[in-house]
Amino acid sequence: MFDLGVIATVFALAFVAELPDKSAVAGLVLGTRFPWPWVFSGIAAAFLTHVAIAVFAGQLLHLLPGRVLEALVAALFVLGAWLIWREGAHPEEVEAEGEAESADAVSGRFDGAGFFKVASLGYGVIFIAEWGDLTQILTANLAAKYHDPLSVGIGATLGLWAVALLAILGGRTLLRVLPMAWITRVAAAVMVVLGVLSAVSAIRG
């Protein structure tokens, strides 16, 4: 069975962590070049792959002794807070990087391409961009914390897919309504709180 509370928590954290990421910008750029269902199919498959890897890594972390695990989880939450704050502080750099990666990947070779080529492009861009990314670290951390791989996997996947859809269908409009600085500050604060709670658990044993 899965836990709706865990799914909702992981969804929210994955969603706000992915918004300022260059992968979201890449989805936006690709969505302007090709049919959005084709682009989303590839991006969704890439995110699903990364979530599966991250959840598996989180389960390995859970084999550590209780105190060590809680201390590691606390440290990773604090690291995640710093990373998301840093990315949100310079949204123009993230956007430029994401657009450059997407342009390099397309480079004129996919004009008039069919579904398979476009989906493969979307998969490749996201698969490469997400290695060692904040959301991958966060997902592994949450899988270790909750020891509920199914719920964490569902929440993280849905959160990442939601960001991808928003980016592809109209990411620039969303950012005019929700300033990135506000989103990242709230997300960073939540991660710090989770880190403190994990640290307290580690100290108490």
Q: Is 205 within a domain?
A: no
Q: Is residue 127 part of a domain?
A: yes
**What does the longest C-alpha to C-alpha distance in the chain come to?**
61
pLDDT band at 52 (very low <50, low <70, confident <90, very high): very high
pLDDT in tens, 78-96: 776 776 676 655 555 545 4
| pLDDT score, position 64 | 73
Listed in sequence order, the residues at least 6 apart from 93 whose beta carbon sits closer than 8 Å to its beta carbon are: none
For residue 31, being part of any structural domain is answered with: yes
Q: With respect to residue 190, please indicate whether it lies within any of the assigned structural domains.
A: no
pLDDT score for 87: 62
Across residues 120-125, what is the average pLDDT?
86
* Predicted local distance difference test score (pLDDT) of residue 153: 95
Residue carrying structure tokens 């100290």? 203
- In terms of residue numbers, what domain contains 50? 4-65+90-179
| Count of the separate structural domains present in the chain | 1
pLDDT value at position 94? Answer: 46
Handedness of CA 47, 127, 95, 103 (dihedral sign): negative
Would 113 be classed as within a structural domain?
Answer: yes
Q: Residue 21's pLDDT is what?
A: 66
> Does residue 99 have a pLDDT over 50?
no
pLDDT for 28 beyond 80? no
Say what the pTM is.
0.72
Q: Is residue 149 part of a domain?
A: yes
Count helices and strands in the chain by DSSP H and E runs: 9, 0
Is 44 a member of any domain? yes
